[in-house]
Chain A
Amino acid sequence: MNELKRVFKEGMIKDNPVFRQILGICSSLAVTNLLLNSLVMGIGLMFVTGFSSFTVSLLRQQTPKHIRMMVQTLIISAYVIILDIFLKAYWPSMSKALGPYVGLIITNCIIMGRCEAFAQKNKPLISFFDGFTMGLGYTIVLLFIAFFRELLGFGSLFGVQILGEGWVKWTLMIMPPGAFFMLGIVIWITRNVFPNNDEKGGAQV
């Protein structure tokens, strides 16, 4: 139970993939102009990271060390293809909205990072939990960014108009620069709210 708690805390805050490890930035910038897109992307990533970590961990005793990267890529791509097929078959409009970013989950560093850093050394179930929490950490940040981008850019939340007709839409927020500003602000705030103890004593920047 303690281990679960530790893993959860690391995934959400201490080692949060986006604002701490600065991984998965490409997709965080791309899909966060709408809350719904971000949510689906996040759930997709949770699924892929969780099951990839699980599978990698399951095979960790059998996998020859020097070909483990190849094996990880194979496992990750298999799960991403499953997710892609699922979206195409049951949610085509979402599949279209996310476009190439579903396929690009394969290259999302969070997944391979967790396979390397955690799943290689731990048991399958806790690895699954670790992958899942990392995905959750990613999702939360995405949703946070998307909340402001959609609210200011479209005046809506999850497609429901919140701000009245008089609201002047900040087109900048739904364009790529808006994502950079929001992500920068998020990283800045979280670095201040959750200072990293490891950095103390290191070189002052």
Chain B
Amino acid sequence: MVKKKRILYPVFFMVVLTAVFTFVLAFINASSIDLIKAQEALQIQKSILYVFNIPFESQDLSIQKTFDEHVTTQTLNERTYYVYKLDQELQGYAFQFSGRGLWGTITGNIAISPEFDTILGINFISHSETPGLGGRIDESWFKEQFRNMSIKTEPPVIFKPAEGGSADAVTGATLTSNSVRDMVNQFVTDLKSIEKEVNLNE
């Protein structure tokens, strides 16, 4: 048994142990970072396919292939966006949006029709909302409400049962729902201001 009175020994012990574990974790992290990056890229491709409502099979290779077939990536003023064409015909644009949720940043993708009058779909990539409450914005019933939602009227997203309501909020998660609503409304408004530039870029 180690003598308890020694002062340097615990410090030495802790330093060595921390160094060993840090080294092991750093090694594991370094050896898996490429794989994780690839998985994240795949997540974004999946999200883009989802917001455009392009059917895809869930195998990794098939996602990549479907994505490359239909979608091209463009940049405008350092903003990346995605263009979906089917048989040379323009189907829509997808953008990344982000905003403040209840607990942290919510990031997602939104797809807009070429005329900028309809939301084609919406998806959330990352958020830190309460699981089971605000976290339910990930559920498909919530996201599917935004499919083909008209954005001609201002603001586009109004929660029922208010007049002109276009979507249901998540029960028990008012603050998260409101954040999403404001985020989407704000983004759509901003989007209309860059409509011309995007269309010119084609």
Contacts and interface: CB of A to CB of B under 8 A. Distances in A.
A84 B6 CA distance: 37
Name the prevailing secondary structure of the A interface residues.
Answer: helix
Interface string B1-40: 1101010011001100110010011001100100110011
Nearest to A82: B28
Contacts of B14: 67, 70-71, 74
Interface stretch (A56-64, A107-115, A133-141, A155-163): A56-64
Contact of A64 (B10, B18, B132, B135): B10
Contact of A65 (B4, B29, B39, B40): B4
Contact of B172 (A31, A66, A175): A175
A71 B32 contact: no
Nearest to A81: B25
Contact of A74 (B6, B10, B18, B128): B18
Contacts of A66: 4, 10
Nearest to B128: A100
A114 B72 CA distance: 53
B interface: dominant SS: helix
Interface string A167-205: 000000011100000000000000000000000000000
A78 B24 contact: yes
A63 B32 contact: no
B28 A62 contact: no
Interface of B: 1-2, 4, 6, 9-10, 13-14, 17-18, 21, 24-25, 28-29, 32, 35-36, 39-40, 42-43, 128, 131-133, 135, 172
Interface of A: 30-31, 33, 59, 61-67, 70-71, 74-75, 78, 81-82, 85-86, 88-90, 92, 99-101, 174-176
17 contacts: A30-B131, A30-B132, A33-B132, A59-B17, A63-B13, A64-B4, A71-B13, A71-B17, A74-B14, A85-B29, A89-B32, A89-B36, A92-B42, A99-B128, A100-B131, A101-B131, A175-B172
Closest 8 CB pairs of A and B: A78-B21, A64-B10, A89-B35, A89-B32, A92-B39, A67-B10, A89-B36, A88-B36
